[in-house]
A and B are shown apart, each in its own frame.
Chain A
Amino acid sequence: MNVLVTSSNDYTIVTIEGRIDATSSNEFEKSVMEVIEEGNTKIILDCSGLNYISSSGLRVFLIALKKMKAIKGQLKLCNLQPVIQGIFDVSGFATIFSIFPDQKSAMER
């Protein structure tokens, strides 16, 4: 699992690569929380390189979502691979997250 943080047009873009499972979810949580605690209010999670997510990983997504809602910030997801999209669909998470096909469309809306 690898996390790369960049900035573009007010948005902080967190690019995730690899797997987020029970082993790597703690590290992922730490990385995401750092980005949020820095005071970024507009965050895009680019999941183009994310090829597996376990329920532990979904939990981190949820914690991030809750934190952002608490500070009235924005958390957007983009570039979900079909497998990941499937997991979001099955778990109903697709209904509570803002999911976009790519970074461009995520920034436009």
Chain B
Amino acid sequence: MKTHTLSSHIISYVLLFCIGLFLVTFSIYYYFTRSTIQETTKENAVALANNTVNRIELVLNTEERIPEIVAKMLESSFLDRDSLIPFLKSILKNNKNICGSSISYEPNYFPDKGMFYAPYVFRQGSKIRSTMLGNENYEYAFMDWYQIPKMTQTPYWSEPYFDEGGGNMLMTTYSVPFYTYKKRERTFSGVVTIDISLEWLTKIMSTVKIFKTGYAFLISQNGTIITHPNKDYVMNQSIFTIAKENNQPGMRDIGRQMIKGGGNFASADFKSKWHPGKLWINYKGLPSSHWSIGVIYPESEMFASLHQINIILICLIVVGLFLLSLFTVKIIRKLTSPLKHFADSARLIAAGDFNVQLPEIKTQDEMKELYNSFSYMQKELAEYIVSLKDTTAAKEKIESELRIASEIQMAMIPHIFPPFPDLPQVDVFAVLKSAKEVGGDLYDFFVIDGNKFCFAIGDVSGKGVPASLFMAVTRTLVRSISDKEISPSVIVSTLNKSLSSNNESSMFVTFFLGVLDLATGELRYSNAGHNPPVVIRGNGDVIMFEKTKYIPVGLFEDFDYGELSLQLAPGDKIFLYTDGVSEAENVENKLFGEDNLMKVIGENVKASPRDLIHNMEVGLAEHVKGHTQSDDITMMTIVYNG
């Protein structure tokens, strides 16, 4: 399973971190750059508007001076009535922006000239012509250009208009009131006007560009569009009519601010058919004429450069992250490539190949440490396995020897049942279960002289090999002694003498030996410190033999062993056992005990020797409940059939 490699883990963490870092950096960068751009744009737009206003004002102010000077001249009677037309002509000749000029007197100012006196000079083609204004159809004294300066007593810029007679030019008229002294009183006497072509204004305005499509426009003090890239608007629409047509109250509000002469830089609170999306507007009033100039541009263009930079930046980062991933993969693969090798080596070592080649490590880092540990492990493991093999071989040898010893030991005791098929007077069954491979328990039985049945059971102190050797000696001695003797006490005494001499290890054997006269049923026995056997009478009585006063054999060379006798009737049984039975322990160290032993016997008084021993084994198993057998267990049952 290699669905997730170390490198993919590390890369995913590194990438996640880098992306996070980038997002934070980018957001901060974007925020600050955006506000910087906005600020810079504002400054530019304001400067642009101011600059444009100044350019226009420069022209207008220059032109304003002319009628003002004329008015002063008239007031001081510097000009006489007949020189007015040549004077005006000379003004036109010297001022290309001026298309026409008049000095319009109050009606009936000159009673001899009739109602109207207003010499007017104007350009027609390249010629300069003159005429007199005023007749019944054109009573100039009621015109705005005349009325407003008269009433306000201040100069007045008229609303721009198309001069249909003079070449379809956009024009505006500047009217300055003039005064003369009548009866020493300064009295309003008429208006000096100049008609100015606004072509230059349109030119100036058309040079104002901001960003890609941003433009400037000019409105009059009524809101009429004076200049606009869309020629259809010029003089035909006002900012308010456009606002109404497009249902944009925000545009109307801005229009109101503009005609009040205010100035501001703001995001436009309106939409335009010209450019969908958010717009920004900057406007400023012209002090002299009360017109207002507006500079408008789309936000998308304002931030276009930012967006372009963003795209470049994102591309760079994506490429950068990709390269970083590649680089990281390479580095990690390079650094961790020995790990896979180590894993393979470990698998081979586990399979037993201790000479497997480890990956070569040239660096002096953790990988080198791993290499050192690994090769140390390899070496130790190899040595350990060698010693383990030796130990195992030695152990197996001992075990096999013990197994053979066990077989030899088992062969020493009778193990074919029934042992005497042609001897109906007696039947025997016995088991011996060693706690270890070999044990120190023994039983034996044989027939002497054809009518004496000799049997013995014994338990050597301790367990294992020493006990088994002592057991073998004991068993051999018993057989050889009983060749010559039939008295149990003599056999036991002789055995004791042989075992006691030179018994440096102080090992001893508890030993019970009985000789049953098959003809009479008399049992003579000698008990050397062995657990008292149990006699089961044919009528069901169960009696334990008395406790012995004789010590186990092998202790004191000159100890005297006596013998006792017991009369058996046909059907009587004798149950013999070692302390492995009565002292069998369970997990709680509770002994099986003589009580349980007697109980099991009591339940099996009629059972055959084989069944009795089998049931005793079952009882023992129930008691110990699987607890490890700690001592050798031996049981023997003899039935006397008479």
Which residues of A line the B interface, CB within 8 A? 19, 21-22, 25, 52, 54-56, 58-59, 62-63, 66, 83, 89-93, 95-96
List chain A residues, Cβ under 8 A from B583. Answer: 54
8 closest Cβ pairs, A-B complex: A55-B461, A91-B529, A92-B529, A92-B551, A59-B461, A63-B506, A56-B462, A92-B550
Known: A21-B630, A62-B508, A91-B551. 5 other contacts (CB 8 A): A55-B462, A55-B508, A66-B555, A89-B547, A92-B529
Cβ of B5 under 8 Å from chain A? no
A66 CA to B559 CA, complexed, in Å: 14
A52 CA to B531 CA, complexed, in Å: 16
List chain B residues, Cβ under 8 A from A63. Answer: 506
List chain B residues, Cβ under 8 A from A95. Answer: 549-551
Given A22-B463, A55-B459, A92-B551: A62 touches B506 (CB 8 Å cut-off): yes
Cβ of B126 under 8 Å from chain A? no
Give the nearest-CB partner of A58 in chain B: B461
The one of A25, A56, A59, A93 in contact with B529, judged by C-beta atoms closer than 8 angstroms, is A93
Cβ of B528 under 8 Å from chain A? yes
Cβ of B207 under 8 Å from chain A? no
Inter-chain contact A90/B508, CB cutoff 8 Å: no
The one of A19, A56, A83, A92 in contact with B552, judged by C-beta atoms closer than 8 angstroms, is A92
| Closest CB in chain A relative to B603 CB, distance in Å | 23
A54 CA to B550 CA, complexed, in Å: 18
List chain A residues, Cβ under 8 A from B461. Answer: 55-56, 58-59
List chain B residues, Cβ under 8 A from A52. Answer: 589
List chain A residues, Cβ under 8 A from B589. Answer: 19, 52
List chain A residues, Cβ under 8 A from B507. Answer: 59
A46 CA to B551 CA, complexed, in Å: 22
A58 CA to B462 CA, complexed, in Å: 9
Inter-chain contact A59/B508, CB cutoff 8 Å: yes
Inter-chain contact B506/A66, CB cutoff 8 Å: yes
18 A-B pairs with C-beta separation under 8 A: A19-B589, A21-B630, A22-B463, A54-B631, A55-B508, A55-B510, A59-B506, A62-B555, A63-B506, A89-B547, A90-B530, A91-B510, A91-B552, A92-B528, A92-B551, A93-B529, A93-B551, A96-B556
Interface-central residue, A25, A90, A92, by most chain B CB under 10 Å: A92
| Closest CB in chain A relative to B63 CB, distance in Å | 130
List chain B residues, Cβ under 8 A from A55. Answer: 459-462, 508, 510, 579
A58 CA to B551 CA, complexed, in Å: 12
A85 CA to B579 CA, complexed, in Å: 15
The one of B463, B506, B529, B591 in contact with A90, judged by C-beta atoms closer than 8 angstroms, is B529
Inter-chain contact B459/A90, CB cutoff 8 Å: no
Cβ of B571 under 8 Å from chain A? no
| Closest CB in chain B relative to A32 CB, distance in Å | 12
Given A21-B630, A22-B630, A59-B506: A90 touches B547 (CB 8 Å cut-off): yes
